[in-house]
Amino acid sequence: MARVTVWNEYRHEREREDVAAVYPDGIHAAIADPLAAAGHDVRTATLDEGPEHGLTDAVLADTDVLLWWGHAAHDEVRDAVVDRVHERVLDGMGLIALHSAHYSKVFKRLMGTSCSLRWREAGERERLWVVEPGHPIADGIDEYVELTETEMYGERFDVPQPDALVFTSWFEGGEVCRSGCTYRRGSGRVFYFRPGHETYPIYYDDDVRRVLRNAVAWANPGEGPTPDFGNADPIEDLDATSPDDRTTY
């Protein structure tokens, strides 16, 4: 099991009645509940939770996998917090960027691109096709997941070529989008998962919740070896002679 932190702006739910009607306890709660039910040690943090947005050094040090939902206040996330999250990912913490978190500061920094895309909010149907059925994030998912009302995200999606493309979306209006992309950054695993607009109950969908559970298990760094950087002692005994006296070829 993993130590999980679910981060959310938590603005729409407090400012808009239509969003509060769908997510009365916040999007973070809808994401956190099934992860906790699966046995993970889950906490939540939000944008207005102090000057560090709830992501203190202590919280991040105690986090194996961070899920990030942001939308309208990307620019309000302090750069010092972005630096901290970025460093933790490089050190091995998993990051799952959800829906419009494609445009978050930390995801753009990890990708090194604009992460821009086409979009349209029309409540249209989406088929989320599994294009890598052998990937652990797709475990237990059928050929595709059908979502009756979604916000369209479409190509060109300006992200690097994924290490693995797990899902591709088709939308009723005709567009497609790379909707489930995995990356490795430093020692950390990163997964971008597109579904999740604030006015649609997508995070209550059983298949979406299964994907999130699978993604947490995949991104969890576990108990593997930690890379050792910097000046290193030799593994084998070196010749006691001076380096200047050694034969070079």
Which helix (H) or strand (E) covers residue 31, if one does?
helix 27-37
Instruction: Give the count of beta carbons closer than 10 Å to the beta carbon of residue 231.
Output: 4
Per-residue pLDDT, 226: 66
Per-residue pLDDT, 204: 98
Contact 169, 124 (CB under 8 A): no
Q: Rounded CA gap, 177 and 220, in Å?
A: 26
Contact 150, 225 (CB under 8 A): no
Per-residue pLDDT, 238: 84
Domain boundaries, the chain: 3-115+182-223
Q: Which two tokens stand for residue 4?
A: 């999980």
Give the mean pLDDT per block of 10 residues along the chain (249 residues).
Answer: 97 95 97 97 97 98 98 97 98 98 98 98 96 98 98 98 98 98 98 96 98 98 73 82 59
Per-residue pLDDT, 52: 97
Q: Which two tokens stand for residue 19?
A: 């969003």
Contact 62, 22 (CB under 8 A): no
Per-residue pLDDT, 203: 98
Instruction: State which fold the 3-115+182-223 domain adopts.
Output: Rossmann fold (3.40.50)
Contact 31, 42 (CB under 8 A): no
